[in-house]
Amino acid sequence: MKKIILLLIVLFPISIKAIDISATSVILMDTDSKRILYSKNIHERRSVASISKIMTAVIAIESGKLDEEVTINNIISKAYGSGIYIKVGEKLTLRDLVYGLMLRSGNDAALAIADYVGNGVDNFVEMMNHKAKEIGMKNSEFHNPSGLDEEDGNYSTAYDMAILTSYAMNLSEYRKIVKTKEYKLNTNKNNYLWNNKNKLLRLYKYTTGGKTGYTKKAKRTLVTTASKNNINLVVVTLNDGNDFNDHINLFEYGFENYNSYEILSKGIINIYDEKYYKNYNLYLKNSFKYLIGKEEKQSVTIKYELVKKKKIELRSKVGNAIVFLGDKKIYSEPIYVKEKTINKSKKWFLW
Active site residues: 50, 53, 105
H-only helix segments in the chain:
53-62, 94-104, 107-117, 121-134, 158-168, 172-178, 200-203, 243-257
H-only helix segments in 143-223:
158-168, 172-178, 200-203
Taking Cα atoms as reference points, which of 98, 82, 43 lies closest to residue 213? 82
In sequence order, what are the residues at sequence separation of 6 or more whose Cβ sits closer than 8 angstroms to the Cβ of residue 351?
9, 261
**Buried-state track 271-303, b at ≥16 Cβ within 10 A, e below 16:** beeeeebeebbbbbeeebbbbbbeebeeebbbe
> What does the DSSP 8-state code read for residue 203?
H
Q: What stretches of the chain adopt beta strand conformation (E)?
A: 2-10, 25-30, 36-40, 46-47, 69-71, 91-93, 155-156, 182-186, 191-195, 207-215, 219-228, 231-238, 258-264, 267-269, 280-284, 288-293, 299-307, 317-325, 328-339
> What does the DSSP 8-state code read for residue 313?
P
